[in-house]
């Protein structure tokens, strides 16, 4: 099995990851999210980025348009709801609660987890080395464990000396 093999849960095959990056800035965290988004988008996934309203969602909007000199990621700022019967955007920046029926990959940057975190096929959380962000990530990790999810942790801080 590969490093990213699915985990089995009561609702089927799911994958959940925590990415801990060595940088302590929000801009580094948003850039990492843009790279993950680009990868999932190129694989054909519908990607939801859960953000805090206000500055975080606006900053991520700018990063997705400008992060690569060779490309950009087309996306839409939206509320959590996708109109019934419509196909959601391929990439959406959401400050509310996304629905598992609308998205393949959810990347959590905001202060809360999706209400139905255990129902998403792929869920990624990104934490920088900033103390507040790490504390938020610890809380998210505990919440996921309470849902029976054992997220795979990728700690890039360990490779840095």
Q: Give the model confidence (pLDDT) of 68-119 as tens digits.
A: 888 788 899 886 666 655 666 799 999 999 989 889 999 999 999 999 998 9
Residue among 69, 114, 70 nearest 92 (CA)? 114
Instruction: Please give the CATH number for the structural domain made up of 12-155.
Output: 3.40.50.10110
Domain borders along the chain are 12-155
Question: pLDDT tens digit string along 27-65?
Answer: 999 999 999 999 999 999 999 999 999 999 999 999 999
Residue 11 has pLDDT above 60, yes or no: no
Q: Which residues contact 73 (CB under 8 A, 6 or more apart)?
A: 34, 37, 38, 41, 64, 65, 67, 91
């Amino acid at each position: 099995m590969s490093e990213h093999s699915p985990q089995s849960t009561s609702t089927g095959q799911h994958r959940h990851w925590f990415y801990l990056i060595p940088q302590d800035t929000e801009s580094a965290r948003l850039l990492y999210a843009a790279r993950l988004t680009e990868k999932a988008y190129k694989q054909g996934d519908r990607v939801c980025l859960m953000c805090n309203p206000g500055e975080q969602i606006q900053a991520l909007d700018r990063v997705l348009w400008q992060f690569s000199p060779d490309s950009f990621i087309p996306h839409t700022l939206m509320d959590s709801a996708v109109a019934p019967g419509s196909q959601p955007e391929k990439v959406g920046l959401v400050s509310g609660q996304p629905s598992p029926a609308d998205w393949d990959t959810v990347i959590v940057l905001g202060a809360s987890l999706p209400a139905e975190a255990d129902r998403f096929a792929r869920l990624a959380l990104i934490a920088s080395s900033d103390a507040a962000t790490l504390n938020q990530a610890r809380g998210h990790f505990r919440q996921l464990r309470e849902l029976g999810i054992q997220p795979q942790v990728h700690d890039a801080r360990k490779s840095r000396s």
